[in-house]
Amino acid sequence: MLNERDLTGTFVPIITPFLPTEDLDLESYQRYLANLLQYNIQGLVINGTTGEAPTVTWEEVIMLVAATKQTMTSCNRELPIIVGTGTNSTRSTIQRTVLAAELGADAVLVVTPYYSRPSQDGVLEHFRRAADVGIPVIVYEVPARTGLQLTPETVRSILDLQGVIGLKDSTSNTQLLTRLVQSDTKPILCGNDQSYLDMLAHGASGGILASANVRTELFVQLFQHVTQGEMTEAQHLFNSLSPLIHALFQESNPAPLKWVLAEQGLLDSASLRLPMSPISAELTEQLHSLLRS
């Protein structure tokens, strides 16, 4: 299982490939995953936002984890598997966290409870009970999707819980990160791709980055530049990646990302499950141009 020391470097949130019938496409999944495994990434996240978790059943999560392990064995490459288990119900979050542990996950990613807008105390208790399951928990703070922003004090209290090993910070700036690193804190991974270099410069230990599904080797190089103190090189590389990152989030993730992966031949189809829909013609042309360059 993962511990705090392991939360450093480039982690990739995995997409969930579908056939045009919306059935799971495991053949594409294994081809796509085998491509990722050739790079020096530090872990994979299954059933997160990029994996269209709201429309994926737990039975399909089981299939994805099994296919991931099989592909790793075939490629002779083992990486930690993090499974998204958070919902807006503490009871179902606990149930899914227990099931993820039984699947052999190395950690779970638990999002701040969404939609119901609970109190800060309620959120703290939600994470306390998830952490009590016994598998390492990574907190996922993403206010733009949950409708709830945690205070730095609440996040610090959650990170102090035994069993919580770190935070995926998907806020829109470095304010939370800056507050947390003023005192000893557990690792913080950037979850906002467009702020990645800025967050690394302010103390983030790495990132869980949807964009790293594309040009993966450049994201790995970027992190290496930062850890070696080569900030000029890091800035130059990030500037070259920024147009792609911007385009991948111009419409709802993972629709643009799936289009790119299908265009690269890693997926047979860019199919999504409703209510997610294909990207616009304008974005298609923009991505065509970026890939050609």
Tell me, what's the pLDDT at 233? Answer: 98
CA dist 181 and 152 (Å) reads 11
| pLDDT tens digits along 171-200 | 999 999 999 999 889 999 999 999 999 999
Tokens (6 digits) for 131: 């952490």
> Residue 107: beta bridge partners?
82
Tell me, what's the pLDDT at 125? Answer: 98
Closest C-alpha to 174, from 191, 154, 195: 195
> Residue 11: beta bridge partners?
43, 208
| pLDDT tens digits along 131-150 | 999 999 999 999 999 999 99
Tell me, what's the pLDDT at 70? Answer: 98
Tell me, what's the pLDDT at 11? Answer: 98
Q: Which long-range contacts (CB under 8 A, 24 or more apart) does 274-279 make?
A: 274/55, 276/52, 276/55, 276/252, 279/251, 279/255
Tell me, what's the pLDDT at 293? Answer: 82
How far is C-alpha 112 from the chain's CA centre?
14
Do 141 and 109 form a contact (C-beta atoms < 8 A)? no
> Residue 44: beta bridge partners?
12, 81
* 4-237 belongs to CATH 3.20.20.70: yes
CA dist 56 and 65 (Å) reads 13
> Residue 4: beta bridge partners?
none
Do 169 and 140 form a contact (C-beta atoms < 8 A)? no
Q: Is 279 annotated in some ligand binding site?
A: no
- DSSP alpha helices (H): ranges in 109-266? 120-131, 143-146, 152-159, 175-180, 196-201, 216-227, 231-248, 255-263
Distances in Å between the alpha carbon of 63 and those of 25, 131, 137?
A: 11, 25, 22
Domain segments of the chain as ranges = 4-237
Closest C-alpha to 221, from 196, 246, 254, 203: 196
| pLDDT tens digits along 85-112 | 999 999 999 999 999 999 999 999 999 9
The residues annotated with a catalytic role in the active site are 140, 168
Do 31 and 14 form a contact (C-beta atoms < 8 A)? no
DSSP designation for 22: S
Closest C-alpha to 31, from 75, 1, 88, 97: 75
Regions of the chain with pLDDT less than 50: none
Do 225 and 234 form a contact (C-beta atoms < 8 A)? yes
Peptide bond into 254 cis (omega under 30): yes
CA gyration radius, the chain: 18
CA dist 85 and 98 (Å) reads 9
Q: Is 62 annotated in some ligand binding site?
A: no
Tell me, what's the pLDDT at 267? Answer: 98
